[in-house]
Structure 1
Amino acid sequence: MLAEESTLGERIESARLARGLSNSQLARRIGVKPHTLQNWERDKTEPRSNKLVALSGILGVPPIWLLEGGKAPIEAVTHTQFHETADLESKLARLQKMHERMTQLTFEIVSEVNRLKNTLEQERQDSL
C-alpha cells in the first residue's frame, strides 16, 4: 500500500500494477509511448489533463486521487476484482457440471438410439 504522501508517478505505477497491466499495455491504451509513461511514473514529466483523465478511467481510480493522493482506492479495486473472479469461478464450476451432465445425457441418448436400432433391425429380420 502507498503512503499518503506518495508522488503522482508512484500513484500511477501503483494503480497500473494493481490492475495487472504492464507499462507497454497501459501506454498503448492511453495512446503514448512506453517511455513517456515511464517518465510519468518516475516523476520526470507529468501527463496532460486529457491523459490524466484517460489514466483515471483505465486504472479505475478517481482523477483527484492521481493528482492529490490520499487514501488509496486500490484496495476497493482489488476487493472488487476478487469478487468478480470468485463469481467467474462459480460460473465456471456450474458450466463444468452442466458439461458433465450433457456428456452423460449424450451417452444415454446414443445408447438408447443404438438399442432401438438393434430392436428395429431384429424385428425386420424376424418378419422376413
Structure 2
Amino acid sequence: MLDDNRLAHNDETLGGRISLARDAKAFSMEHAAERLGVLPSSWRAWECDRDVPRGNRLTTMAGILGVSPSWLLTGLGRGPMRPGIDGHAQDLPQVMRRISKEIEALNERMRQIALHLDDDASARNKGP
C-alpha cells in the first residue's frame, strides 16, 4: 500500500513491518531495543518472525517507531514516514516556503482565469 508521503509496506509480516518502521527511523536494532528496554536478541527475534512481542510492548514499540499499533499488526493505519518528511524538522521551513509559493502561483492563476471568465461574460452580454 502506498500513500503520498508514506513508505510502501510490502512486508507482509509483523516482523517485516517492525523492520521497515525501524529502518525509517534510522534506528539500529540495538538502539531500538534499548529504547524499548529489551535485549537486542528479543528485537531481532521479532523482526525475524521467530517470536511476537506482548501487547504492551507492541504498543510502546509503535510509539517509539512513530507508527500505529494497528499498522504493526495488520499493515493498516499510520505507517512509517519517508525519510525527509518525518524527523527532519530543519527541512520543514523550506518545505513550507515552497508550498506557500505554489499556493501563491495557483491563486494568481485562478485570478487570471476569473478575469478571463468575466471578460467573456461581459462580451457575451454586450451582444452583436
TM-score range, shorter chain: 0.5 to 0.7
Asked whether the 8 Å contact 1:60–1:77 carries over to 2, the reply is no
- State the Cα RMSD in Å: 2.6
How many aligned positions are there? 88
Moved over 4 A (4+): none
Tell me the residue number matched to 1:52: 58
Larger radius of gyration: 1
Give unpaired runs (5+ residues) of structure 1: 90-128
Note the C-alpha offset of 1:76: 6.1
Asked whether the 8 Å contact 2:68–2:77 carries over to 1, the reply is no
More helix by share: 1
Seen in structure 2, the aligned counterparts of structure 1 residues 25 and 13 have a Cα distance that, compared at 3 Å, is same
Q: TM-score, normalised by structure 2?
A: 0.60
Tell me the residue number matched to 2:41: 35
How many percent of aligned residue pairs carry the same amino acid?
A: 36
Note the C-alpha offset of 1:74: 1.9
What amino acid does structure 2 have at the position aligned with 1:85?
Q
Note the C-alpha offset of 1:81: 2.9
Tell me the residue number matched to 2:91: 86
- 2:9 aligned with 1:2, yes or no? yes
Note the C-alpha offset of 1:6: 1.2
Q: Matches of 1:2 and 1:57 in 2, distance apart? A: 18
Q: TM-score, normalised by structure 1?
A: 0.60
